[in-house]
Amino acid sequence: MAPASEYFKDSPFGTYAGKLALGTGEDDFVPFKMHDELRRSLDTSFLLNPVTVRLLVSTPGGGKTWTLSWLSRYFTRKKDIMTIIVPRLELRGQPERGLVEAIFNALRPQLDGIRSKLQSGKFRLSDSLITTNAYYVWMALQDEEVFQIMSGGGGRLPALKGLAAPPLTKTEGTLHLLLGLFRVLYALNYSKVVVLVDEVESLFVAYGRKDLFIFSNFLRGLFDEFQSSAESSLPRLMMLLAGTTWVLEKISPALVGKQEAAGDVAGAFIRRMASPFELTPPDESDVLRLAEQRIEQHRSKAARPFIPYEKEAILYVWNNSFGIIGDFCHRLQQMYDLAAAEKAEKITEDHARRVLKELTTAVSSAED
């Protein structure tokens, strides 16, 4: 018998997060209590701090990408906020260059709107910035070839109207380009900038201690500029870096009960970053709301009869899904398939047990 997913176009049960984007999970995301807590915390950070850099962590499959996508939609709806969505860091010779190029590249979907504002004549940099790196970025955003280089296309940035480019291969150069971008966005009436970065594990996998130490100094320079009492040309900045709890162990071992090595480069991050926010597993009421939403989608789309789920069946499969939301939803579908094949009147805990037993058997066979 064909699986339930073949009877409707997009299976609400088999949907996984995928790549970070504005629309990722839009039809499937269910905010939990912890998401409301996260949103309130971020709104407070904007009010109190000129710059916030924060880790968003969870176990693998714990909903990081969907959470970032949800936040991107939340912030994008606000007129004074520029939201920059970075699906992953670009791996370059230096991590700070990879971050800056990835941020410029992430502007691509909004570039037409930015260029329209730059060329409208309604906005301008302050006179004190006309000969600075901010003015270079102002011009570079309107030049497709130069923008291509800034966003990871490779090559050396040319001078523009006699103004030399900050070198991409130097930490100071990448910092000046990023600060220049933020000053341009502020001049375009974006009083706040949100940068959402997914899959930050690559930072700690690809680079050694020396590179990470230099990167920590890059962050220090960013903080110093935003926190300067004389600074009035920068927006408020919030940067969220999402990764697994393995990243948390690397950056802040003490928070996960591990001893921090003396002189660990992580210390430089810890002193400047806000407290990490951990996406904890949802409670029972959250799990039931998630299941209800997915089941209702199935009910509205499926060509086959709706089969009700017992509460115990839903909770049993969740408690055996190790907090992985995608696996939980996929097993809801497997339970449906099994019950439909048997023409059952309802989906019970017995169906959940049998689905998990079949999965365990399949895994054991694959390992053998």
Rounded Cα distance, 277 and 178, in Å = 25
Q: What's the pLDDT at 33?
A: 85
Longest dimension (CA), the chain: 77
pLDDT band at 7 (very low <50, low <70, confident <90, very high): very low
Q: Residue 120 — pLDDT band, cuts 50, 70, 90?
A: very high
CA neighbours closer than 13 Å in the CB half-sphere of residue 30:
21
The CA–CA distances, whole Å, from 29 to 35, 36, 78, 301 equal: 11, 13, 20, 17
At position 75, the amino acid (one-letter code) is F
- pLDDT band at residue 6 using 50, 70 and 90 as cut-offs: very low
**Is pLDDT above 70 for 364?**
no
pLDDT at site 110: 94
- CB atoms near residue 96 (< 10 Å): 26
Buried b (16+ CB within 10 A) or exposed e, 48-75: eeebbbbbbbbbebbbbbbbbbbbbebb
All domains of the chain in start order, with CATH: 33-278 (no CATH), 282-367 (1.10.8)
List, for residues 242-266, the tens digit of each pLDDT value.
Answer: 888 777 666 655 444 444 443 454 5
SS3 percent helix, strand, coil of the chain, rounded to 5, is 55, 10, 35
CA–CA distance, 152 with 150 (Å, rounded to integer): 6
Question: What is the tens place of the pLDDT at every residue in 199-243?
Answer: 887 777 777 778 877 888 888 888 888 888 666 889 999 999 888
What was the pLDDT predicted at 238?
Answer: 95
Strands (E), 145-253: 192-197, 236-244
User: What is the pLDDT of the chain when averaged over all its residues?
Assistant: 81
Q: What per-residue confidence (pLDDT) applies to 235?
A: 94
Percent of residues, the chain, with pLDDT higher than 70: 81
- The 3-state DSSP class for residue 83 equals strand
What sign results for the dihedral spanned by CA atoms 221, 224, 225, 226? positive
Least confident of 53-62, 155-164, 244-253: 244-253
Looking at 59-169, which runs of residues are DSSP E strands? 81-86
State the pLDDT at residue 312. 93
What is d(CA 343, CA 347) in angstroms, rounded to the nearest whole number?
10
**What's residue 8's pLDDT?**
33
Given this model, what pLDDT does residue 163 score? Answer: 94
